[in-house]
Amino acid sequence: MQRKWKVVALLAAALSLVSAYAGAEEDFVGWLLNFQRQKNVKPVSDKQYQDECGECHFAYQPGLLPAKSWEALLNADALRKHFGVDAELDNDTLKVIHDYAVDNAADKSWHKRSRKIAVATEEGPAPLRITELRYISRKHHDIPEKMIKGNKGVKSLSFCDKCHTQAADGVYDMDTVAIPNYPGWDD
């Protein structure tokens, strides 16, 4: 009987700790004792980042690239030639966006997909395109080209939210994928 009460007491203690850490910052203890799902990528929480990046393209979550990539992408020189486009920002805005991206980069996140990206990019040069990441390319490997490049509703892998219906929330689960013009498709 004593053993049962010990188990119940342990469970109660664990639950109270979890609830205490439910809203904690993203650190190891916070992650460990947080039962909320952290399987995907941390959604964008900075309005300025969302507005500035989202003005031209999908505001990719910082957790999709390691910090070294954001360092290489978000500086004044790089933004003048941002994938062939002049995306220059004033210094104050750039600093906010740069700091937000670096602080929430894949290698600083406890979310699962970010951790996968982080461990796969620890070595080697900083990847500059999310679509170049081995993890991302492998995930899309089996999708026929006609469904992406040849699909007027998608056009490119860069447009995450065309198929990932909950991409804005950082959710990239297979179960949330709906490829335009190919209803019912499943990998």
Binding site for another protein (CB under 8 A): 1, 3-4, 7-8, 11, 32, 35, 37-39, 55-58, 83-87, 112, 115-116, 119-125, 127, 129, 131-134, 137-145, 148-149, 155-159, 161-168, 173-176, 178, 180, 184-187
165 C-beta neighbours (distance < 10 Å), count: 14
Tokens of 147: 């469904």
Of 104 and 109, the one with the shorter C-beta distance to another protein is: 109
How far apart are CB 74 and another protein at their closest, in Å? Answer: 15
How far apart are CB 104 and another protein at their closest, in Å? Answer: 18
How far apart are CB 169 and another protein at their closest, in Å? Answer: 11
Cβ neighbours of residue 22 closer than 8 Å, sequence gap 6 or more: 34, 35, 36
How far apart are CB 46 and another protein at their closest, in Å? Answer: 19
Burial of 50: CB neighbours in 10 Å, binned 0-12, 13-18, 19+: middle
How far apart are CB 168 and another protein at their closest, in Å? Answer: 8
**CA gap 30, 53 in Å, rounded:** 29
For residues 59-95, b (16+ Cβ closer than 10 Å) or e, as one string? bbbbbbbbbbbbbebbeeeebeeeeeeebebeeeebe
Of 98 and 162, the one with the shorter C-beta distance to another protein is: 162
Phi-psi region of 33 (alpha: psi -120 to 50; beta: other; left: phi over 0): alpha
Of 11 and 17, the one with the shorter C-beta distance to another protein is: 11
